[in-house]
Amino acid sequence: MSGQAVAPSGIRLDVTIMIRDPLPNGYFIGPTVRGLLGYAVKRASCVTDHGECARCLLRSACAYPLIFAHEAGEGPKGAGRLTAPEYSVMVDPPGAFDGLRHIRFTIWLFGNAARWMPQVIDGILRSESSGFGSSGASFTLLEVRSGSTVVWSRSAPAALLNPIPIPLVTRTGPVGQTLRIGMITPLELQPSAKTPGMSLVFALILSARRRWRVMCEVSGSAPPQEDRIEDAQFQVLDHRTVLWTGHRRSVSEGTAMPLQGVLGEMIIAGPWERAGDWLRALDAIAVGRHTNFGMGRLQWDVPG
């Protein structure tokens, strides 16, 4: 990989809930999990009657505007320069839920957001009666883990363990010249990430590099050293992709935002060892637009 290895870290929360009514086939839970997360943190943190961060004197010491500052533009001075959130939502792909009532998803908290882990869990507990998703299906929080460590469980509801930050770089060893890149959840790149004539693969790499630079900044790690690479050095050998479309419905605002992205896989040859350290951290970070809704979750392996 490129340059000297950097190792930003984060708090991993593997959440298991049980809903009363099964999800419909093909349901993508990413936007729903993001909605639950935002609602939960605000419910656990806000002590005002008006609930408006912009005119609250406590906003510089409150979990909600600090975690979601990049979205609302209401965080402390300097937060606006960040181009990615201090959290990441990792969910299962559309179609993974076929009448299941137990739902598992992962929330990563980076940088300053890690200190608000108790508010995240407490807020999810407080939100049980409010429901999951636009249908308001009631749910029960069963357990929160951090890898193999139990952080909170139903059997000991008053106990809360502070998990140890986990390095985001989880894969070691050689990468290989040919990789199979799988898009587990829909990948949509920013319009500015793809200039005329630029391939999807190279736009993906540049977008991932930007995301990784922000993760290093948020975690207080040294900025990555990036090797120069060219679009023409990467060649798609095979691909099986489909366009996914969906929407994110906001119950509080009464609006629906269209979402779309690419699902499937591509086999790509190129100098992957020089692409960047982000490639070793795809268990914790996502790439492209709407990563706060669980989109842009990727994986890779070496095809046999």
> In this predicted structure, what is the pLDDT of residue 62?
87
Same domain, 16 and 148: yes
Is there a single domain that holds both residue 31 and residue 127? yes
Write the pLDDT tens digit of every residue in 72-90: 433 333 333 334 567 888 8
Same structural domain, 67 and 213? no
Q: Is residue 187 included in any domain, yes or no?
A: yes
Greater confidence (109 vs 1) lies with 109
Same domain, residue pair 114 and 183: no
Taking 80 as the threshold, does the pLDDT of residue 100 lie above it? no
Residue 2 maps to a domain: no
- Choice between 70 and 233, residue whose per-residue pLDDT is larger: 233
CA 42: distance to chain centroid? 19
Residue 225: which residues within 8 A CB-CB, separation 6 or more?
A: 2, 3, 4
**Number of compact structural domains in the chain:** 2
Spatial distance between the Cα atoms of 140 and 187, rounded to a whole number of angstroms:
30
Residues 236 and 266 sit within 8 Å (Cβ to Cβ): yes
Q: 154 and 181: one domain?
A: no
Residue 183 and residue 146 share a domain: no
Specify the CATH number for the domain of residue 252: 3.30.70.1900
The region of weakest confidence among 2-16, 33-47, 48-62 is 2-16
**Final residue before a domain boundary, out of 129, 148, 166:** 166
Residues 79 and 187 in one domain: no
**What mean pLDDT do residues 91-101 have?**
73
∠ CA(303), CA(14), CA(254), 5° rounding?
Answer: 100
Q: Which two tokens stand for residue 289?
A: 């637009």
Q: Give dist(CA 52, CA 294) in Å, integer.
A: 26
Judge if 240 and 277 occupy the same domain.
yes
Please tell me the distance from the alpha carbon of residue 14 to that of residue 108, in angstroms, as a whole number: 9
Is residue 107 within 8 Å of residue 117, measured between CB atoms? no
Query: Are residues 141 and 45 part of one domain?
Result: yes
How do residues 249-277 score in pLDDT, each as one tens digit? 765 566 778 899 999 999 999 999 999 98
Q: Please indicate, yes or no, whether residues 119 and 148 belong to a single structural domain of this protein.
A: yes
Domain assignment present for 236: yes
Q: What is the pLDDT of residue 97?
A: 67
Amino acid at 196: P
d(CA 85, CA 111): 10
Tell whether 67 and 200 lie within a shared domain. Answer: no
Q: Is residue 3 part of a domain?
A: no
Query: Which structural domain range is residue 34 located in?
Result: 9-166
DSSP assignment of 147-184, as one string?
TTEEEEETTBTT----PPPEES----S---SEEEEEEE
Kindly provide the b/e burial profile for residues 247-276, where b requires at least 16 CB atoms within 10 angstroms of the residue's own CB: ebeeeeeeeeeebebbbebbebebebeebb
Say if residues 284 and 88 touch (Cβ distance below 8 Å): yes
Between 195 and 161, where is the model more confident?
161
Q: Is 101 exposed, middle or buried (0-12, 13-18, 19+ CB in 10 A)?
A: middle
For residue 205, tell me if it sits in a domain.
Answer: yes
pLDDT tens digits, one per residue of 150-193 = 999 999 999 999 899 988 887 887 888 999 999 999 999 865 55
Residue 4, in any domain of the structure = no
Q: Which residue has the tokens 């119950």?
A: 251
Asked whether residue 1 is domain-assigned, the answer is no
Q: Which of 166, 192, 221 is the last residue of a domain?
A: 166
Domain boundary among 133, 166, 199: 166
Whether residues 78 and 216 fall in one domain:
no
Query: CA 258, 259, 260: angle at the middle one, nearest 5?
Result: 130
Is 51 contained in some domain?
Answer: yes
- Model confidence over 125-134: pLDDT tens digits? 988 887 777 6
